[in-house]
Amino acid sequence: MPAATQKSPPVHVVVQELLDQVRGAWRFRWVALAMAWCVALVLWFAIFMIPNKYEATAKVFVDTGTTLSEATRGIGLGDDVENQIERVRQAILGTPELERVANATNLMAGAVTAAQQQDVIDKLRRNLDIVGFLAPQRASAALFTISYKDPDRARAEQVVGKLLDSFVQGTLFTKNQGSRQAVTFLNRQIAAYGKKLNGIEQQLASFQRRNIGLLPNTQGSHLTVNQTGAGALTVGMVQGQSGSYFGELQADLSALTRDRQRLYVAERTRAELAAELRAGQQFTVSAHGAPVASGAGAAALDSEQQIDQDEARLDAMLLKYTDQYPSVVALRRTIAELKAREKRQMQAARKGDVGAASALGLSANPVYQRLQEKYNAAQVGIAEIEQNIANTRQQVATLRAEINIAPEVQAEYTQLTRNYTVTRKQYDALLARLDSTRLGQQAASTGTVKFQIIDPPTAQFKPVAPKRVRLILLALFAALAAGIGTAYLLHLLRPVFVSTRQLGAVTGLTVLGAVSMAWADHHRAERKRGQVLYACAALGLVVMSAAVLALHAHIANLAGDLRS
């Protein structure tokens, strides 16, 4: 049958086997008891030889949430009390600090070699403990406990006192040292960025001098230029940077289009004004009310009145005289001269001669004058627009000639200005951080961390180690285990058959029966005495353990009486 399918032996068989092993080991009960006594006595003696250890403790409350720290929060180094105290804890547990404490408390007495001194420091580190607990409702406060164990109670208190001083001073020193290191680092960075900023400024100034006509003027939208097959330029606007080469070209093209539209409107306005001027009257009749002449727009003249009077006289004279009469001839000649003079004055008045108009008895027409002023202003505006168009065409031609150079120049200029802006921003940020760090350093030196010693370094008169009561009981159980183990080992080394079942199991033969030994009376009595003696010896071991416990209690009470 496979092993996996075999049935486990019955419980009574297992119990019988255990009883056989116990009977076999019981043969060496005296050896086991002697071994238990020896082990117990040795262990008890060793327990009493272990020196006492006294534990000195100190508690300190650390609070970074003071009024000054709240006022300076965010302008100095971080006030993370947990990180700060952890750094101080690591520094205190370091070899230099522990060596200083060991020398100050005479722990180094007798340690001559470097190995011995290192052993003293390692032992000091093992017996030292610094534990901190953050306050449940205040993240800026924590309670720290410093403890140390030493056979000398006074020395334990002395070591804790030295460590407490190092803890408080080390926390402040670490914070101040961090501030000083931060200031030194920031000064180095500011000097480096200042040098870099000066170099970029010099490059930018030199670049501006070399390419002063190709640099952008403002910041706004970025423009792209494409050239069509006909040679015309199309400008597209992309939101970003303006005032660059393409921005200027786009602005000039847009201005050119606007000026052409303005020129067209101005020319139309000038044509309308010219038509109104041609249809209007330049002069009006003077105040004496002479009739108005038609034609070129001139009114009736004083000369014409004289001509009318002379013609009336001529008609009257013709009724009396002939055409050859000297007075008639002279009057005809006068009328002809008046008509010639009137004609000349009319022509001069049409040309704007104010003197001729005044001689004819005419005055300037205000409506006509306003039209003339508008016409003249339109002429000036057209000339100005035409000049702007000419200038803009020249600028566009210049920009088109620089289309392969200006973008590269302006791209390089943009890169320079970007570098300058970034460097300047970082430089200003470092300056602001330096000012904040210096202010935080001053605040830290004033007192942003509050220390309050809750419990000064003290040590109980009762030693904390070793736990002798527990060790004495453990030594008793260890001695009993050693005795039982010794008896069982001897049984394994010198085995015997203690039952017919064991004999049959080993030989494989059927045991028909067993003959019991018949003891004589004196052997039976001797056997009984041995059992009583063994019981007394075993009970004596228990009594001895109780006596050892009583001795320990007596020594502890005696030591307490001596200390008091």
Tell me, yes or no, whether 205 lies in a domain: no
Distance CA 400, CA 227 (A): 11
89 and 37 both lie in a single domain: no
Burial class (CB in 10 A: 0-12, 13-18, 19+), 257: exposed
153 and 108 both lie in a single domain: yes
Tell me, yes or no, whether 544 lies in a domain: yes
Structurally, the chain folds into a number of domains equal to 3
452 and 472 both lie in a single domain: no
For residue range 491-500, list pLDDT tens digits in order: 889 888 777 7
39 and 80 both lie in a single domain: no
- Residues 226 and 236 sit within 8 Å (Cβ to Cβ): yes
291 and 171 both lie in a single domain: no
Dihedral over alpha carbons 521, 524, 529, 532 (to 10 degrees): -140
177 and 65 both lie in a single domain: yes
- Of 312, 346, 364, which residue is a domain's last? 364
pLDDT confidence tier of residue 40, bands split at 50, 70 and 90: very high
37 and 104 both lie in a single domain: no
42 and 80 both lie in a single domain: no
- CATH number of the domain that 122 lies in? 3.30.70.1130
Which pLDDT score, from 0 to 100, does residue 411 have? Answer: 72
Tell me, yes or no, whether 84 lies in a domain: yes
60 and 155 both lie in a single domain: yes
The gap from C-alpha 114 to its chain's centroid, in whole angstroms, comes to 47
Which pLDDT score, from 0 to 100, does residue 187 have? Answer: 80
58 and 43 both lie in a single domain: no
Convert 190-211 to b/e letters by CB count within 10 Å (16 or more is b).
Answer: beebeeebeebeeeeeebeeeb
Dihedral over alpha carbons 42, 45, 49, 52 (to 10 degrees): 120
Identify any residues that bridge with 458 across adjacent strands, giving them in sequence order. 57
pLDDT confidence tier of residue 302, bands split at 50, 70 and 90: low
Residue 244, both tokens: 């660059």
Alpha helices in 280-325 (DSSP H): 302-318
Domain with 324 in it = 281-364
Q: Per-residue pLDDT for 478 more than 70?
A: yes
For residue range 508-558, list pLDDT tens digits in order: 777 777 767 777 777 788 888 888 999 999 999 999 999 999 998 888 788
Tell me the DSSP string of 161-223. Answer: HHHHHHHHHHHHHHHHHHHHHHHHHHHHHHHHHHHHHHHHHHHHHHHHHHTGGGS------EE
46 and 58 both lie in a single domain: no
Q: Per-residue pLDDT for 475 more than 50?
A: yes
Identify any residues that bridge with 465 across adjacent strands, giving them in sequence order. 53
485 and 527 both lie in a single domain: yes
SS3 453: strand
Q: Per-residue pLDDT for 129 more than 80?
A: yes
Min mean pLDDT across 16-30, 391-405, 439-453 is at 439-453
Tell me, yes or no, whether 85 lies in a domain: yes
- Residues 200 and 416 sit within 8 Å (Cβ to Cβ): yes
